[in-house]
């Protein structure tokens, strides 16, 4: 069951934390006004997710079942604090523009969700890989949302990339088209909700098309819960 292709497929598409599980909507909607912010928060979440999955998988046999959630939360909080301090030290501009949403990664349900649903039931390697794939899937959704909102809102891509990557990245900013007036709606929270709706609709449409193209195969006999790939 825990083959890596399946894990990758689950994290990137089928069980994508942003599009399907709809977890972590608060940072997803709040910081995706530009690609840079989205990428920064996505990478931070990715690091925390991989780290927490590894640690939870390591300690899973030593943690009593009754207090596992507090233990997981403390592991996650320690990791988030580390990442926050690192970003504060090495990408201060990004630290300022992400603001409260960086420490709020602690409360991101993707992380505790994967720790509980996957890492506490699987071995180290597949847990780490699951964290990586879920994190990449989440980051991709963030970036897609950030790119569409930035493009619609101010007609640029990678505006402010120097906040994330250092001064050389200033040249990365692409002016895709020039706008006389900013499309404010795309930059504001309601635009994030609307764009998110369209993104989910597009994903469902692609699934629908794929399903229609496939020849009918026999009906699956086993029914597995969507969020748990393996039950011990």
Partner 1 sequence: MALKMASSPYLRDKLQTSSLMQRVMLCALPGLLVQSYFFGWGTLVQVLFAMATAALCEAAILAMRQRPIKATLQDNSALLTGFLLGLAVPAFAPWWITLLGVAFAIIVVKQLYGGLGNNIFNPAMAAYVMLLIAFPLQMTTWSAPVGFEHHAFGLLETSRIIFFGSTAADISLYQMGADGIAMATPLDSVKTAFSTGLTINEALQANSFSDGFGIGWLWINCAYLLGGLVMIKLKLIRWHISGAIIGSLFVCASIGYLLSPDTHLGPLLHLFSGATMLAAFFIATDPVSAATSNQGRLIFGALIGVLVYVIRTYGGYPDAFAFAVLLGNLCAPFIDHYVKPRTYGHRTSR
Residues that bind partner 1 (CB under 8 A): 180-181, 183-186, 188, 190, 194
Smallest distance from the beta carbon of 189 to partner 1, in angstroms? Answer: 11
In angstroms, give the least distance from the CB of 185 to partner 1.
4
CA distances from 146 to 14, 32, 99, 129, 206 (A): 21, 4, 17, 25, 21
User: 70 or 190, CB closer to partner 1?
Assistant: 190
Q: Which is nearer to partner 1, 179 or 226 (CB)?
A: 179
For 168, phi then psi, to 5°, come to: -60, -25
- Residue 2 corresponds to which tokens in the numbers above? 């825990």
Q: Cβ of residue 186: shortest distance to partner 1, in angstroms?
A: 8
User: Which is closer to partner 1, CB of 74 or CB of 188?
Assistant: 188
Of 180 and 220, which has the nearer Cβ to partner 1? 180
Whichever of 1 and 201 has its CB closer to partner 1, that residue is 201
What is the nearest approach in angstroms of partner 1 to the Cβ of residue 70? Answer: 39
Q: Nearest approach, Cβ of 144 to partner 1 (angstroms)?
A: 19
Q: Which of 45, 56, 135 is nearest to 83 (CA)?
A: 45
Q: How many CB atoms lie within 10 A of CB 2?
A: 16
User: Who's near 19: CB < 8 A, 6+ residues apart?
Assistant: 141, 199, 200, 203
Burial of 205 (0-12, 13-18, 19+ CB in 10 A): exposed
């Amino acid at each position: 069951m825990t083959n890596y292709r399946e894990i990758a497929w689950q994290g990137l598409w089928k069980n994508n934390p942003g599009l399907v599980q709809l977890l972590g909507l608060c940072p997803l909607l709040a910081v995706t006004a530009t690609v840079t912010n989205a990428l920064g928060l996505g990478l931070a979440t990715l690091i925390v997710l991989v780290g927490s999955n590894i640690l939870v998988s390591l300690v899973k046999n030593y943690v009593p079942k009754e207090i596992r959630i507090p233990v997981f939360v403390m592991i996650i909080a320690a990791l988030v604090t580390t990442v926050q301090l690192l970003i504060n030290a090495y990408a201060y501009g990004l630290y300022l523009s992400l603001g409260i949403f960086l420490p709020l990664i602690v409360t991101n349900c993707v992380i505790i969700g994967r720790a509980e649903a996957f890492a506490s039931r699987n071995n180290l390697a597949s847990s780490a890989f699951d964290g990586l794939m879920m994190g990449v899937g989440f980051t991709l959704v963030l970036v897609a949302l950030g790119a569409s909102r930035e493009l619609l809102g101010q007609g640029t891509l990678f505006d402010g990339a120097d906040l994330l990557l250092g001064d050389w990245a200033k040249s990365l900013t692409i002016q895709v088209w020039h706008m006389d007036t900013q499309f404010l709606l795309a930059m504001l929270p309601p635009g994030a909700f609307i764009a998110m709706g369209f993104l989910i609709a597009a994903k469902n449409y692609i699934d629908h098309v794929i399903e229609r193209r496939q020849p009918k195969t026999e009906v699956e006999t086993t029914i597995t819960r969507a969020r748990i790939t393996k039950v011990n």
